[in-house]
Amino acid sequence: MTAAPMLPERHEWTVDDVGDLPEDLPYELINGRLIVPSPALLHQDLCVELLLALRANCPKEFQVGIDLSMRVDHRNEPRPDVVAVARGNADRSPLPGEDAVLAVEVVPHDWNFGDLWDKAIVYACAGVQTYWVVDPTHERITLTEYALGAHRVYEETSHTSGLFVTERPWKVSVDLPALTARRNDLLAGEDG
């Protein structure tokens, strides 16, 4: 078993500071706050399913990935659970925020509303046109879609636990009832 790295204490972090972190340490930087996520298997499984749904009709001028750092400014380097970016970024890390057209966050089991709110503001400031929040913490998985409106503020355009279909950033459909059934199957073994 590997010991957790000792991180330097700072009240505020910048993108320059994260250069001192171990290269293999996944992190997010949100408003100068360092976050070291530790996602559960269910969370990652949903991310892969969303990636596959997005890839199904992905135009050749875009690429889709999971858990990739995205540089926004000196205090913000979020890691969307799933991100769609302009082609030409396959070997770049972090991704340039201005190249992202969709950021997706899957609500973790230990979620904090403030984290999602802060990330929405960061993505909006970066100009990410579409933002999805997928919430598996309810009886049925829900997806809320937001589109960037006037003054770089997100406006809710859709909220469903059924079949989600959109044209943003391209034609995509996500079968949320099927994802709910998959989640329930994955969790069924946990009860016994």
Residue 4 has pLDDT above 70, yes or no: no
CB atoms within 10 A of CB 134: 24
Q: Which of 160, 143, 114, 118 is nearest to 46 (CA)?
A: 143
- Enter the CATH code of domain 22-187: 3.90.1570.10
Residue 119 has pLDDT above 80, yes or no: yes
CB of 182 closer than 8 Å to CB of 49: yes
Domain layout of the chain by residue ranges = 22-187
pLDDT for position 24: 77
Where does the pLDDT of residue 55 fall: very low under 50, low under 70, confident under 90, or very high at 90 and above?
very high
Q: How far is CA 117 from CA 62, 93, 95, 141, in A?
A: 26, 24, 21, 19
Stretch 59-74: mean pLDDT: 95
Reported as a single tens digit per residue, the pLDDT across 5-40 is 556 666 788 888 887 777 778 888 999 988 888 888
Stretch 180-184: mean pLDDT: 96
pLDDT for position 135: 96
pLDDT for position 2: 47
CB of 69 closer than 8 Å to CB of 95: yes
Between 192 and 136, residue with greater pLDDT:
136
Question: Which three-class secondary structure string do you get for 37-103?
Answer: CCCCHHHHHHHHHHHHHHHCCCCCCEEEEECCCEECECCEECCCCEEEEECCCCCCCCEEHHHEEEE
